[in-house]
Amino acid sequence: MRDLEPCRMNHTEEQTDLTEKLHHVKTREKTSSKRKVKKSFTCTQCGKSFTYNQSLKIHMRIHTGEKPYTCDQCGKSFAEKGVLKMHMSIHTGAKPYECDQCGKTFSRASYLKRHLKVHTLGKPHSCALCGKSFSHLQNLRVHQKIHTGVRDHMCFECKKTFITASDLKQHQRIHTGEKPYKCSHCDKRFSQSAPLKSHERIHTGEKPYNCSHCDKRFSQSGSLKSHERIHTGEKPYKCSHCDKIFSRLGSLETHERIHTGEKPYKCSHCDKRFSRLGSLETHERIHTGEKPYKCSHCDKRFSQSGSLKSHERIHTGEKPYKCSHCDKIFSRLGSLETHERIHTGEKPYKCSHCDKRFSQSGSLKSHERIHTGEKAYHCTVCGKIFSQSSSLKRHKTSHHCK
């Protein structure tokens, strides 16, 4: 009996050892099976396989075009819930991802990850043509297209071409009228995030950009750059059709539309088109009746900032426009230009019916009514109509005399 105990002990130790070995093999098999997960859900359209049925369902929306997740702010639809969530940050302005190096915030984790390379890697990618450096190779490639003139992305509405897809996307909002960015202080909406930020400074009064030549401050970096060219005299933008040069890119783009005839801005109320966004905004106030510019001296309101400035000179007596031929001064630039034609003899307004020319647009309009027979001036007393305002005024005196 004594001899049996050691045998039993040895047998038990062997069993334990074997059990441990079997457990180790099973664990290794489990780990191995985890590494080689079977992709049993296959797309019937393109043959792509997925581990989970839910992943396949999401993938199938590429083929079906289904977009079940809709933004309640702008109506845009998405195939995935996560993409909708990221999109919503456009409207909310939420930027939860903050750089611990410089404090800059981002709406997406991927944007922050990309930004961090600026701190860790510096700017290792340099342009061979101008020496400008970039932290990301992709940014260098985009930049090099400025030198090569390559514009891969074309708008099918107006045939305009762009260097990047994002520039094209922003441009297309001119045609679609989409304005996904809403001001948090008022109901104004914008097609791009940058104009929204600039606009919100109207409400906050923030002017973070300071001129290095004088004490003037600006709410927009572009305004600062344009202003500083007054000090430097720099005009870096040259027209590709003529020799005219400009200190602002926007001024160049607007000028070039004279050559191309392009009018990308369409009124949402009528079919009228404009070459300038400002001209469209001013025009649309005819339809809406909006008069956002109020006189600081009286209660009069205006649809255009220029009209307000001209009006306020009635109160201030300011006459900033001086004739280059005589000492006469004017409160309006238009009045100066009209006056100077007395000295130059210039008559830029030609009748479309005959060869007669005029120094003022109003005189041309009055003259052309002789040809068209149009009678735009109506007497409110007797209903008689006239082609000239002066004729109506003379006629009205006949009522007063009776």
Q: What is the CATH number of domain 311-401?
A: 3.30.160.60
pLDDT at 26 over 50: no
Structure tokens at 177: 């009228």
Calculate the CA dihedral of residues 79, 84, 86, 87 and round it to 10 degrees.
110
* pLDDT reported for residue 36: 61
Closest by CA to 110, choosing from 90, 130, 86, 131, is 86
User: pLDDT band at 226, cuts 50/70/90?
Assistant: confident
| Residue pointed to by tokens 């600081």 | 296
SS (H, E, C) 271-284: CCEECCHHHHHHHH
| Residue pointed to by tokens 């070039």 | 256
Q: Express each pLDDT in 267-325 by its tens digit.
A: 999 999 988 888 898 899 989 989 988 999 999 999 888 889 889 999 999 998 899 99
Q: How many Å apart are CA 186 and CA 207, to the nearest integer? A: 19
pTM of the full structure: 0.33
pLDDT at 20 over 60: no
**Per-residue pLDDT averaged across 190-200, rounded?**
83
Q: For the chain, what are the domain ranges?
A: 311-401
Q: What is the mean pLDDT of the chain?
A: 81
* pLDDT reported for residue 204: 85
What letter does residue 3 receive in the DSSP assignment? T
